[in-house]
Amino acid sequence: MLRNYSNSRTLGDNIRLGTLTAFTAGTINIASLLIFLSFTSNVTGHYAILAAEISQGNWTQVAVVAGWIFLFFFGGFVANMSVINFNRKSKYFAHALPIVLEILCLLFVGFYGQFYYKKTLEETEALVALMLFATGLQNGLTASISNFSVKTTHLTGTTTDLGILFSMFTQKKFRKNPELIARAKLLMSIMTAYVLGAVFSGLTYYNLEFRVFYVISVCLLVVIGYDFYKINLRHFHTEYRYYKIYHKPTLIAFLYYKIHNKEEKRTVSRPNTNAKLAFSDK
């Protein structure tokens, strides 16, 4: 989900990333609405509130709402900075870092809310700000690594795009276009996952309360854990192929045989310094 970048991503990569992150975004948004009476997965409504506060001259609230908008913007900024600066060294690290930061933010909100939250206005404003930064990180990351194909913290653009696509599908030539069909599948999966996340949050909030943010963090751990597993599995197979080609024993090859209940033909205690290709002349 995270290790592939831009045009190298497949539809499956984007659907897996989109569904899991959209589910968490829907859960976050409804949880923040029930707890703080504020949406935190997008800033569309906050721009309207900002304009209303400016017109009324409530400058303290103007500063607060402007800060919220800036933190959502800054989350996207930090996510893309991570991608473009660390991508050459390690794509996985560059793409996982924003998710790790988001998890830390959500864990802090859950922990503080569970044990210290006194429902004061100042606390509410600060926690909302932190959640907006977290969702900005998520939205910035998914957009950056998917070449702007995946945005999961709000459904305004998704609903608009689906309306356009479904109007195009009224003509047969567009219904047979694989790119349009793939785009529709991706957007439908994002929309469905977001709604399911919102429903899940609404149903479980009164039992979990702030602990719902721990559940969200687990979902995000699945996102970064999936690629960690796939990368290491690929390394595992690479080591095994190296052994098969060069007949040079490695610890990884030994483990591969143990897991698959295969007999070892060569010892792994001492490397073969006279290794030859399996297909070379003796």
Predicted confidence (pLDDT) per residue in 25-45, tens digit: 999 999 999 999 999 988 989
Distances (CA, A) of 239 to 41, 198, 245, 249, 255: 43, 43, 10, 9, 10
Tens digits of residue pLDDT in 58-81? 999 999 999 999 999 999 999 999
**How much is the pLDDT for 275?**
44
Q: How many helices (H) and strands (E) does the chain have?
A: 10, 0
**Residue 269: band (very low, low, confident or very high) from pLDDT cuts 50, 70, 90:** very low
The reply to whether 259 falls in a domain is: no
Q: Is residue 282 assigned to a domain?
A: no
Q: What is the CATH number of the domain that holds 213?
A: 1.20.1250
Residue 251 in any domain: the answer is no
- From the centroid of its chain, how far is CA 79? 11
* Gap between the Cα atoms of 211 and 97, Å rounded: 23
Domains of the chain: total: 1
Residue 239 lies in a domain: no
Sign of CA dihedral 53, 59, 63, 64: negative
- Asked if residue 68 is part of any domain, the answer here is yes
What pLDDT is recorded for position 95?
83
DSSP 111-150: HHHHHT----HHHHHHHHHHHHHHHHHHHHHHHHHTTT--
CA dist., res. 105 & res. 268, Å (int): 45
DSSP 93: H
Tell me how far apart the alpha carbons of residues 250 and 252 are, in angstroms, rounded to a whole number: 5
Mean local confidence (pLDDT), 108-126: 94
Average of per-residue pLDDT across 113-120? 92
Q: Is residue 37 part of a domain?
A: yes
Q: How high is the pLDDT of residue 263?
A: 44
**Average pLDDT score over the chain:** 82
- Domain membership of residue 261 (yes or no) is no
Place of tokens 């479980």: 204
Q: Which domain holds residue 178?
A: 6-228
Query: 241 lies in a domain?
Result: no
